[in-house]
Every structure is written in C-alpha cells, then in structure tokens.
C-alpha cells in the first residue's frame, strides 16, 4: 500500500479519554462500575497510581451514568446492562491544590459554572437555558445536559433563592435536591445526580470529608471520587465512616496487562482506518517498556507515528521503534519528561547515573505488592560506588525536594526507602542515556 501521512493524534492521545471508542480493556473495572452505578446508594472511589488511567475510567463512568452504554457493548458485556439502568444528571469537577478543605470543596462545587460539567448548570433558574447534548466531535459520548446560555441573573450563585447565605453545606443540599425534579420536568427522566470529583488527593486537609459525603449521599445523590493513592485510606482519611457506602464502589485501577496495552495499538490502527500497521514485535516491546502505564504507551505510539511519517511509511516495526528509542535516549522525544529529567538531575551526570540506578532497581508488576516499585537507597550504594559515585547522600536531596519535582518520595514508616512519584517518569529514566 502506498504511504499516507497520518496525524499521530488520530490513533493516540495523552489526554484523558472520553470517547469510548478509544478506551481499551478494563473489563472487570467496567463491570464493577455498572454495579456501583445501579445501586441506589453508595460511593464510588477510584484510586491508583499516576498515569494509570483513573480519570479516563471516571469519564467512562460519567458516560455510563447518563445512560450511554456504548463502551459496555464494545467490551462484549451487553448482557450486564440492566433492563432499566439508573440514569443520572452528572457533575464533574477536578480539584486543584488551592482547595484547602471540605468547605472549600463544597464552595467550589456550588460556584462551578462550567457549561458541560458544572453543578450550577443543573440548578434551576429561569435565567438560563439547558440543552441535552452530545459532546462535540465525539458523537454519542456522554449525552448530558449542557448549559447554552446564562440569563440576566448571570453566574452569581448568591442570586439563587435556594442559596442560604453563610451556610455552604445547606446551599449545596438545596442546589442538589432541586436538580432531579426540576430537570425531569424538562428533560428525559433520570433517577439521581452523580457528583464526580477528580484529583481528590490534592485536597490538603481531608478531615471530615468522609462523613460529609456520607451525610450528603442519598437516593437522589451519589458521589464518585478519584485520586492518586495506594488504597482508599489515602483518599478519604475517615474512611470508616463511608465503609458501608463503599462496599461495591471501590475501584483500584492497576497497571494494564500487556494484552490491554496491545489493544491500544489495535485501536489506533482501527481509528486510522487500517492505515497504521504495527508489527507484533514492536507492540510487545512497547508494552514491556511502558510497564502497564497507558500514558507511556500512548506517548510511544504518537512518537512512532511521527517517526514513520518522517520515513514515509505506515508500517511501524522494530526499525521505526528503534529510531524512537534512540531519540528518547538522547532526550529528543518527549519534551515534558525531558525537562522533568533535567530539572531533577540539575546538570550532574553523577546524579543522573544514580537516578538511573534507582529506576532500574524497581519495576511495577500487575501483581499487587506494595514493596514492588520501591527504591531502597542501600541497594544502590555498592553499584554507585562501583561507578565511582561516592557522595550519594549529597546527590539524593535534590531528588526528593518539592521544587525539583519531586521525583522520589519517602515511603512512610520505612528507612531509606523511596518511591518514584511518577511511574511514567521512571519508565522514561530507564530508557534515557546518561550524559547525552
């Protein structure tokens, strides 16, 4: 077949995945999500490492919640779709580190005017116009209500009659309790509101969040939270208070299996209309190098397509992959990861070498074992000495300092044991050649 230029973004993306056609694997998690959505109460809690695919799963849950089960059919799980699935009006909010605590979070939710995901768009008000919509350029995805226009009341939450000045929690309750009834009068019938909160881990003071969520959860309101963490306790400190809510909705997103990673490439080939072809051996190598982190696989996929375009071919084989790996080795492939790398090593080849030793020491597997993925300082000492680095203790601090990343963090309750804060960065360091 003759060569055609392919836009790398056609098959690959480093964004959160909304379009179910791009979403691969995760069958068991989808199954759990259907169950969680179809129970009348309960809290959905999604946790796992950075770059593993949590937010993408959360977006798929949002689509399921609105009644779009395309993903489930695609995964061959149509038999799991209830005859009358519970349907939700959905809110999606991503936290940032400026949110100090619970009341700040509620305040943000009450003031979120995002036209596709914000809470205020659902709150009844004569001054605004809602419309049922399907997300632009991804037809059929996440059919939900979109705010067309704010009226003369503007975007000021204070002007709602159900707003109780000085009492955020009550205002939130009033807002939320009005949503289902008032929107059902205008639109298709839905059962409840689903409030999805992403990046939940960045909220500094999580005191009382669990019991707050519990008290706000009802037949008409369900919460879903998502964030980085090894377990539920990392997300909600007072998780005992939500223990019973969470029975069905606890979703631990782990690394993808090599087969799941391979599906990313099958999907990319499909999305390109069959134009892109990947050899089995190239895909297997990428799956191995990305260690189950779809983020790295997507980056590699994009880089391979760019390289193949450059070479005038649509066949991605070991030769193309090798050229990409060569660019990674010399820091020319992924500018973001490279600047993280440079920032961390601070123009010290010795520190770069040490970082590489650390990265090689640990490897995540899909098996659950907390100690896998750890870096034990002691274990790299002799290797470092062999390489002529004899002042390790002066090299390490920069790696754990916040303003330089941090790329490592101490594992609480251990001595001299660290973990890469970003497993994708660790994959990168393994491939990066020192001193180039």
Ligand X SMILES: Nc1ncnc2c1ncn2[C@@H]1O[C@H](COP(=O)(O)OP(=O)(O)O)[C@@H](O)[C@H]1O
What b/e string do you get for 255-267 counting C-beta neighbours within 10 Å, with b at 16 or more? bbebebbbbbbeb
Give the number of residues written for the chain. 436
| Binding window for Mg ion (CB under 5 A); candidates: 51-59, 110-118, 149-157, 418-426 | 51-59
- Give helix 168-186 / helix 209-216 axis angle, nearest 10°: 40
Q: Does 303 bind ligand X (CB under 6 A)?
A: no
Q: Does 227 bind ligand X (CB under 6 A)?
A: no
Rounded to 5°, angle at Cα 85 from 83 and 86: 150
DSSP 8-state symbol, 218? B
Q: How far is the CB of 50 from Mg ion (least distance, A)?
A: 8
Alpha-helix runs per DSSP H in 66-195: 70-74, 102-110, 168-186
Burial of 297 (0-12, 13-18, 19+ CB in 10 A): buried
Q: How far is the CB of 422 from ligand X (least distance, A)?
A: 9
384: CB partners within 8 A, 6+ apart = 353, 354, 357, 390, 392
Q: Does 264 bind ligand X (CB under 6 A)?
A: yes
| Binding window for Mg ion (CB under 5 A); candidates: 53-61, 84-92, 311-319, 346-354 | 53-61
The residue within the footprint of ligand X, chosen from 33, 66, 298, 306 (CB under 6 A), is 298
The residue within the footprint of Mg ion, chosen from 47, 51, 53, 55 (CB under 5 A), is 55
Q: Does 250 bind Mg ion (CB under 5 A)?
A: no
Burial of 402 (0-12, 13-18, 19+ CB in 10 A): exposed
Q: Does 295 bind ligand X (CB under 6 A)?
A: yes
Q: Does 62 bind ligand X (CB under 6 A)?
A: no
| Binding window for ligand X (CB under 6 A); candidates: 53-61, 73-81, 111-119, 272-280 | 53-61
What are φ and ψ of residue 295, in 5° steps? -60, -45
Question: CB–CB of 255/228 below 8 Å?
Answer: no
Pick from Mg ion, ligand X, none: which does 261 bind, CB < 5 to 8 A by kind? none
Q: How far is the CB of 82 from ligand X (least distance, A)?
A: 23
| Binding window for Mg ion (CB under 5 A); candidates: 54-62, 238-246, 285-293, 419-427 | 54-62
Q: How far is the CB of 178 from ligand X (least distance, A)?
A: 31
Measure the CA–CA gap between 50 and 160, rounded to whole angstroms: 38
Per-residue mark of binding to ligand X, 174-203 (x: CB under 6 A):
------------------------------
Q: What are the structure tokens assigned to 21, written together?
A: 């056609």
Q: Does 239 bind ligand X (CB under 6 A)?
A: no
Q: How far is the CB of 412 from ligand X (least distance, A)?
A: 21
Measure the CA–CA gap between 403 and 329, rounded to whole angstroms: 25
Closest by Cα among 296, 292, 335, 301 to 320: 301
Measure the CA–CA gap between 195 and 193, rounded to whole angstroms: 6
The residue within the footprint of ligand X, chosen from 50, 277, 329, 430 (CB under 6 A), is 50
DSSP 8-state symbol, 238? T
Pick from ligand X, Mg ion, none: which does 298 bind, CB < 5 to 8 A by kind? ligand X
The residue within the footprint of ligand X, chosen from 30, 36, 52, 305 (CB under 6 A), is 52
Q: What are the structure tokens assigned to 319, written together?
A: 């030769």
Pick from ligand X, Mg ion, none: which does 47 bind, CB < 5 to 8 A by kind? none
Tokens 């706000």, residue? 216
Pick from ligand X, Mg ion, none: which does 51 bind, CB < 5 to 8 A by kind? ligand X
Measure the CA–CA gap between 86 and 34, rounded to whole angstroms: 10
Measure the CA–CA gap between 136 and 209, rounded to whole angstroms: 34
The residue within the footprint of ligand X, chosen from 8, 11, 42, 53 (CB under 6 A), is 53
Pick from ligand X, Mg ion, none: which does 26 bind, CB < 5 to 8 A by kind? ligand X
Q: Does 423 bind ligand X (CB under 6 A)?
A: no
Q: What are the structure tokens assigned to 39, written together?
A: 């129970």
| Binding window for ligand X (CB under 6 A); candidates: 50-58, 128-136, 314-322, 367-375 | 50-58
Minimal CB distance residue for ligand X: 53
Q: Does 380 bind Mg ion (CB under 5 A)?
A: no
Per-residue mark of binding to ligand X, 10-49 (x: CB under 6 A):
---xxxxx----xxxxx-----------------------
Alpha-helix runs per DSSP H in 153-293: 168-186, 209-216, 232-235, 258-271, 280-290
| Number of residues counted as binding Mg ion (CB under 5 A) | 1
The residue within the footprint of ligand X, chosen from 8, 20, 42, 51 (CB under 6 A), is 51
Q: Does 55 bind ligand X (CB under 6 A)?
A: yes
Where do contacts with ligand X occur on this chain (CB under 6 A)?
A: 13-17, 22-26, 50-56, 264, 294-295, 298
Give residues in contact with Mg ion (CB under 5 A): 55
């Amino acid at each position: 077949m003759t060569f055609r230029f392919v836009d790398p973004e056609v098959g690959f993306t480093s964004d959160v995945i909304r379009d179910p056609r791009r979403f691969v694997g995760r069958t068991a998690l989808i199954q759990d999500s259907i169950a969680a959505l179809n129970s009348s109460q309960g809290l959905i809690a999604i946790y796992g490492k950075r770059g593993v695919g949590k937010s993408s799963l959360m977006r798929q849950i949002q689509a399921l919640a609105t009644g779009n089960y395309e993903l489930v059919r695609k995964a061959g799980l149509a038999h799991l779709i209830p005859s009358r699935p519970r349907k939700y009006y959905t809110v999606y909010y991503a936290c940032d580190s400026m949110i100090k605590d619970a009341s700040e979070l509620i305040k943000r939710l009450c003031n979120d005017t995002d036209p596709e995901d914000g809470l205020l768009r659902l709150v009844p008000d004569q001054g605004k116009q809602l419309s049922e919509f399907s997300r632009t350029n991804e037809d059929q995805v996440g059919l939900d209500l979109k705010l067309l226009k704010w009226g003369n009341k503007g975007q000021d939450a204070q002007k709602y009659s159900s707003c109780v000045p000085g009492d955020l929690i009550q205002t939130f309750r009033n807002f939320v309790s009005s949503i289902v009834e008032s929107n059902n009068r205008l639109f298709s019938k839905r059962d409840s509101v689903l409030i999805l909160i992403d990046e939940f881990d960045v909220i500094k003071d999580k005191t009382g969040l669990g019991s707050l969520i519990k008290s706000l959860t009802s037949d008409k309101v369900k919460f879903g939270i998502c964030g980085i963490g090894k377990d539920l306790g990392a997300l909600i400190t007072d998780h005992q208070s939500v223990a019973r809510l969470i029975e069905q909705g606890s979703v631990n997103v782990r690394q993808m299996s090599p087969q799941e990673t391979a599906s990313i490439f099958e999907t990319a080939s499909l999305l390109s209309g069959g134009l892109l072809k990947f050899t089995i051996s190239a895909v297997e190598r990428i799956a191995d190098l990305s260690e189950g982190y779809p983020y790295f696989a997507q980056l590699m996929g994009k880089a391979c397509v760019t390289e193949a375009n450059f070479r005038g071919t649509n066949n991605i084989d070991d030769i193309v992959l090798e050229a990409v790996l060569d660019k990674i080795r010399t820091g020319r492939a992924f500018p973001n990861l490279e600047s993280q790398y440079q920032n961390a090593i601070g123009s010290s080849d010795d520190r770069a070498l040490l970082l590489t030793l650390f990265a090689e020491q640990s490897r995540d597997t899909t098996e659950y074992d907390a100690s896998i993925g750890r870096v034990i300082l002691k274990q790299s000492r002799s290797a470092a000495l062999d390489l002529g680095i004899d002042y390790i203790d002066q090299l390490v601090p920069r790696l754990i300092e916040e303003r330089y990343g941090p790329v490592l963090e101490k594992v609480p309750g251990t001595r001299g044991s660290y973990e890469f804060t970003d497993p994708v960065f660790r994959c990168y360091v393994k491939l990066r050649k020192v001193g180039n």
